[in-house]
Amino acid sequence: MKKTLVLGATDNPSRFAYKAIHRLQQHGHEVVPVGIRKGEVGGQPIITDKTQKIDGIDTVTLYVGPQNQPTWYDYIISLQPKRIIFNPGTENRELEQMAEDAGIETMHHCTLVMLASSTY
């Protein structure tokens, strides 16, 4: 299973990040929720500290719009994930290029669709 960091985690059940966290857990993936506001989702506290090192991240799935991503660039790249999923509305060529330069695979897809179609 793929240890996945969900960037943009929220405790709001109407948000896609919330839904993704629960679906990832249902599919047996270890989830690390990271966001800007403290809270709890999927039985875990939302991490808000950009300096917290988390080892073994396979995938970062983005639920933060491109206008809010620059403050996360260094943190995302420092995690050295194998891939970054740019969910619809999070596409960002600058971050994509930074990731590719660091040897990180990038993809434009929807985590929820990938899980539903067994392509995650």
Q: What percent of the chain has pLDDT over 70?
A: 100
**Whether 51 contacts 27, CB under 8 Å:** no
pTM of the model: 0.96
- Looking at per-residue pLDDT, the higher value among 25 and 1 belongs to 25
| pLDDT range class, residue 69, cuts 50, 70, 90 | very high
pLDDT score at 52:
87
How many Cβ atoms are within 10 Å of 17's Cβ, its own excluded?
A: 24
Mean pLDDT of the chain: 97
Output the CA torsion sign for 90, 23, 118, 7. Answer: positive
Dmax of the chain from CA atoms?
Answer: 35
User: Beta-carbon neighbour count of residue 4 at 10 Å?
Assistant: 26
